Every structure is written in C-alpha cells, then in structure tokens.
Structure 1
C-alpha cells in the first residue's frame, strides 16, 4: 500500500467534506499514459488541453480525461461525457467525436454547461452532437499514477476488479483529488464521491 494512503488511514483522517466540488464534469476519453497534469501531458494535444483548462476556469465545469481499465489502444473515435450533478437536476449526456478532431470541444459553451444547460453539448452547431446517456451510472476511479502513486497502486486494481465483476460504466479518471484517501471514485450523475473504496 502506498505511503500517503497508509498514513491517512493510520491517522484516522476524516473523509467528510474533503471531496472535490464541481457542478458539472466534462470527461474526455484519452487512452494511453497520462502525466501529472493530464490535460497537458498525455497524448491529447497539449495546446488543446491548455485551451480547455482556460475555457473551463470559473465555469463550474471540472475537466477530466478517462480511459477504460487495462491497457487500451487509441480508437478512431473518443467518447465524451458531460454530467451535471446538482441534486434534483442531475443528468449525463454522451457524445462520440473523431479522435483526430478533439478541437471541436472548444466550441462547447462551458459556462452554460456549468449552469446545468446542456444545449451546446446536444447541438452539433457547437461541435458536439450529444444524446442523453441511458446506460448504467458512470463509475470513475482515480488512477493517475503520475499525479500520485496511491491512485495507480490502489485505484487501477479497483477499476479492473469492478470491470471484471461486470460493473458497467467503469472508467479510470485522471484526477478526483484526495489522493491520501485512495482508492477514490466518483459516481455520475449523482456526484457521489467515495474514498478508501
């Protein structure tokens, strides 16, 4: 077990009130390795990552890269999820975009997404033609070992185990926060965050 998670558990650090806050999550499929700052240090174009970070600043939208558990190869399309998690107003929408044309994400109105209005995500005029997501809840397990080794050592096996058990909607995600509470996971559209899962 990793040092930070072991120390946190031994100290009995409380989990309550430590989860990241976001009204809306925008999750972009990006297979392959991720760096510590995944949006700018992965196989996603770093310039695009910086522009997405800038566009999301102050909007209430939290960005993350996702990938299926285990080693996955790049595909011609990437999935994108927008999830609004305000109680009583939650929703998840999904879209597929060409892997070589992720620039279209810059046309999304992130301020509107952060406010719970998914119009730009559902309207192809804004670069993405999304639809309501009707699958099982998304289970996003923090697994970015370059950000914190606790997440790789504890999160990746949890994601693989959930997937092997037949849990649908399981993804590894770049960063949820709370590394010392690894493994951490987020369930969408509910916005439930769990530590020491």
Structure 2
C-alpha cells in the first residue's frame, strides 16, 4: 500500500496508536526508559487517568517523589499494580522496590514488603528518603519484608484510562500469562496488571523483572519463547524495547550483541556509555551515535567490550496516543551499522 494511502487509512479508520505503530513497522528498540530504581505499589482497580494525584496514599508522597526525580535527578519509575486474589492480602499493601546493585549488573535487586494499608505511605516515604540519603525509618519495616528474590515478575500495562490500546491489547495478554504461565511456574513466576509505564504505541507492552527488560507489540504466539527462553532469540528480536539498565542508543547496540550471544547474554553483567554523537539542536534526534558496551560473564572469567555505531536507516509514521482522530508523527529508525569487539 502506498505511503499516502496508508496515512489516509490510518488517520481515518484506526483508533489505536499501537495498530498504527505496528502497521507502519515501527521498531520498538531503544524505547525503554533508563531506570536505576523501580517502585511498585498495590492499588485496587479501577485506576483513573490521574490516579497518582487522586489516591490519598499516593497524593501524600507525590511531593517527595517529585523532589526525588526533578531535584535529585534519581532515575526511579513508579508503577501501580492491581491486587490479585491469589497473591494479595485484604487490609495489606504490597510494595516492590527494585534497585540497581552496581555499575555493571545483569538484573535488579528486589526488596518486597507487605504492610498494613495504613503504613504504606510511611514505607514509601522511608524508601524515598533513603534514596535522597536522608534519615529514614526503613529498618522499622523489616518485619513486613518478604523473601521473594527467587520470583520473576511479569507486569503488563492494562491502563485503559491513560490509553485505550493498553486496555484493548494488554488485557488479553495479561489474562493469558496469568492463567496459563503463572500457575505452571511452581511459584517462580507472578503476573500483574499495571498502570502506564511508557510506550502506548507498543501495546501490549510488559516489564520483565528482575531482569528489567521491556517488550512491546507482543503477540500471543511469542509468549512461550519470551517466558521459557527455550528457542532462538531471533524470535523475539522485533518485540524487544530494550534493557532499562542502558540508555536509548546503548539499548540498540545491546540488542545486536544479544543476538550473537543468545539467551545467556541476559546473565552477563553490563554497562554502556555513549562515546560520541552528531551534534543536533535540543529536542532533535541525531543521525548517528557511537557507543561502548562493557560486559563481564557471571563468574568474572570473561570480560570484554563492544563498540557500535548506530545510524539512521529511515523513518516511519507513528501515533503516540489513541484517539478518534489519530495524529501521526515521523520518528527516526536506527540500525547498528558497525559492531566490533574491542577487548
């Protein structure tokens, strides 16, 4: 279909941004927000569009969160999860806190608490103060800490009040994972539905923790490979949004290295650095970037580094939000034009 016809068709008939993105072949790689910390809290459904401002518990810690992110520049991602009939406890609130353990790492470390609802705000406040290196009372909550470091958490965005695509496409994926994969895991996998964490146009989209990988445009037929990791990594390449331990262009390079190493690459300790890039005006994306990815295998017997050049290879039209009248925007698409092991 010619581009002009595609443009007219999508703007006239399509209501979901993720269908626009998928139809036009937008590559999701490099769209995972870089995080050093994650904070998930159970808040019952329904979630309004402005749940963080409207819920009393969340509202009470919002000012401290804003100070943390905007003044202290802490890369923390807050997400709400829906209580689950099997996992959750009436009158109690679960809080999951993930943190980057070192500069080079492969997965986030987790602390999990199940506290009385009345103490949830105090717990979150203590975590925030710890991140700001201020006096805090986190030690008082040790009695509520859960030993769940062995549990993998899959979190699917179903937040339809923020974007319809997440409800329409995220909910069926969540239900299938929750019904089929979680029960078969012998307690090693939990599946949650979450509020928005970025990237409506890639719905259905999910977070895989403690690894910290993001996935998008997920199809039911890739769930087996995504969960069990028992086939070729090339089967999930087009669904990979990136690893949140790296920044955008580092994520693009990391995917190509992963394709060479296979699934075991996920266990390697990694860190990235942007070496140089085209100078562009603020708000513009460069046409080329050079990055370096350092890695160490889990037992530290092998260390190395890759250098990669990432270059623009075209652009596609996408939509960042679902609406009755879809607004299309051009986004640059990138490829790794050169990848070499340097150490």
TM-score bin (small chain):
0.7 to 0.9
Deviations 1:139-169 (A, max 9, x none): 1111111111111111122111111004231
| Offset at residue 132 of structure 1 (A) | 4.5
Give the aligned partner of residue 63 of structure 1. Answer: 78
Structure 1 residues 15 and 75: CA distance shift in structure 2, 3 A = same
| Offset at residue 14 of structure 1 (A) | 1.2
Structure 1 residues 107 and 28: CA distance shift in structure 2, 3 A = same
1:47 aligns with 2:59: yes
1:34 aligns with 2:50: no
Give the aligned partner of residue 122 of structure 2. Answer: 104
Give the aligned partner of residue 26 of structure 2. Answer: 13
Rg bigger for which structure?
2
Q: Is the 8 A contact 1:69 1:172 kept in 2?
A: no
* Distance (whole Å) between structure 1 residues aligned to residue 81 and residue 180 of structure 2: 20
* Distance (whole Å) between structure 1 residues aligned to residue 214 and residue 159 of structure 2: 17
* Distance (whole Å) between structure 1 residues aligned to residue 37 and residue 181 of structure 2: 27
Q: Is the 8 A contact 2:31 2:199 kept in 1?
A: yes
Give the aligned partner of residue 139 of structure 2. Answer: 123
2:200 to 153, 170, 179: 179
Give the aligned partner of residue 148 of structure 1. Answer: 163
Structure 1 residues 34 and 187: CA distance shift in structure 2, 3 A = same
Of Structure 1 and Structure 2, which has the larger fraction of its residues in helix? Answer: 2
Structure 1 residues 68 and 77: CA distance shift in structure 2, 3 A = closer
Of Structure 1 and Structure 2, which has the larger fraction of its residues in strand? Answer: 2
Structure 2: gaps spanning 5 or more residues:
1-13, 183-188, 219-343
Structure 1 residues 54 and 82: CA distance shift in structure 2, 3 A = same
Q: Which runs of 4+ in 1 moved over 6 A?
A: none
- How many residue pairs get aligned? The number is 190
Q: CA RMSD in A?
A: 3.0
1:4 aligns with 2:11: no
Relative to the length of structure 1, the TM-score reads 0.82
Give the aligned partner of residue 79 of structure 1. Answer: 94
Structure 1 residues 46 and 63: CA distance shift in structure 2, 3 A = closer
Structure 1: gaps spanning 5 or more residues:
none
